[in-house]
Amino acid sequence: MRKLAILGSTGSIGTQALDVAAAHEGCFDIVALTCGRNTGLLSEQIKRFQPELVAVERQEDAHALSKEHPGLEVLYGEEGLVAAATCGCDMVLNSLMGMRGLVPTYRAIEAEKDIALANKETLVAGGALVMEAVRKHGVRLLPVDSEHSAIFQCLEGNRNREIKRILLTASGGPFRGYTRKQLSQVTLEQALHHPKWSMGKKITIDSATMMNKGLEVIEARWLFDVALKDIQILVHPQSIVHSAVEFADTSVIAQLGLPDMRIPISLALGYPERLPSENRGLDFFREGASLTFEEPDTEVFGCIRLAYEASEAGGSYPVVLNSANEVLVERFLAGKIRFIDIEKNLERILDAHNPTYNLTLEDVLNIDRRIRSEVL
């Protein structure tokens, strides 16, 4: 029985992961759960899965949960996240949103826990540090993002074969085919309406700006040790081909499936086994009847270009890209800036940045804090 700690258990990935665990009774023991402020749902999860430890964002919520669940260890803040990530588990599913996922991931790796990673910011901001820690401590880091899970699956059995290209698919988001003028007029309601995936607000906005795909390029660079020039984005609006790998002989291996996050979640949690599912599979005569691919328009969706440039420049640039983007998305969600201002401000901030290199974990965290305060 695999012992799991789920960071972000009340979010989209976390709740689906618990669905997967519940569907395979006897395979998983949920030993730790964490959430931000959705303590009502967390309390229901505690009753169902009986974890040994939980952590929340605020001290007052921790006190309330302690009274509601006497005998349960309830922690809060970053210390709580780290405690959950380093407890007596075999694997940590990190489905936290944003930079707060970096430290618990790093500490879990140091504690020699396998990682199921659904927090792309961990590798965007701390890729070199995290992958070096993975090598040093000999743990598995299994991707949960559908695209990176697809690439991982395509590489199974092909680890020593030369890769020509990674083909990273993108739905194109709600504004595929828009012009710059049209982007300047979009509303928050439009930006939050993704045509294919049901996700949290932040990642949905990232998908609309296509920054999400830029961040995934950086993540793929670290996960699969490939050059940026060998990662190509394919806009694929049907979201059936989740990504592909082209090898040196020009053969392409792709992973296909319905747009259902339970597939990559179950693969990561059950690896190296594939957990059986009773969910409906892909109907090639219906969903697969017409699959199309387009080149992304980086003139309209400049966030893709900024992500490539920041990753190529290296050092502190990806940290700045990620931190500034998080704050700017929050400002857009709060109605303080326009949709198109996310990209415009990102470019301005990156142009003004004075980079540093050979970063430690503390360096990354300090840069993140400084950029957030400056953007605000």
Residue 355, Cα to own-chain centre: how many angstroms? 25
Q: Checking DSSP bridges between strand 114-117 and strand 91-94, what pairing results, if any?
A: parallel
The pLDDT of residue 198 is 67
The pLDDT of residue 159 is 82
Note whether 223 and 137 are within 8 A (CB).
no
- What the block records as the tokens of 21 is 């665990």
Q: What is the pLDDT of residues 188-245, one digit of tens each?
A: 999 998 777 667 789 899 999 999 999 999 999 999 999 999 999 999 999 999 999 9
3-state helix, strand, coil in the chain (%, to 5): 50, 15, 35
In the 8-state DSSP scheme, what is residue 244? E
Q: What is the pLDDT of residues 5-60, one digit of tens each?
A: 999 999 999 999 999 999 999 999 999 999 999 999 999 999 999 999 999 999 99
Q: What is the pLDDT of residues 247-278, one digit of tens each?
A: 999 999 999 999 999 999 999 999 999 999 98
pLDDT(375) > 90 = no
Note whether 364 and 102 are within 8 A (CB).
yes
Mean pLDDT (the chain, rounded): 95
Q: What is the mean pLDDT of residues 169-180?
A: 94
Q: Which domains does the chain have, with CATH numbers?
A: 2-143 (3.40.50.720), 148-375 (1.10.1740.10)
Note whether 120 and 219 are within 8 A (CB).
yes
pLDDT(70) > 90 = yes
The pLDDT of residue 200 is 79
Rounded Cα gap, residues 74 and 122, in angstroms:
25
Q: What is the mean pLDDT of residues 305-328?
A: 97
What letter represents residue 12's amino acid? S
The pLDDT of residue 191 is 94
**C-alpha atoms less than 13 angstroms from C-alpha of 11 in its C-beta half-sphere:** 23
Q: What is the mean pLDDT of residues 84-89?
A: 97
Q: What is the mean pLDDT of residues 163-191?
A: 95
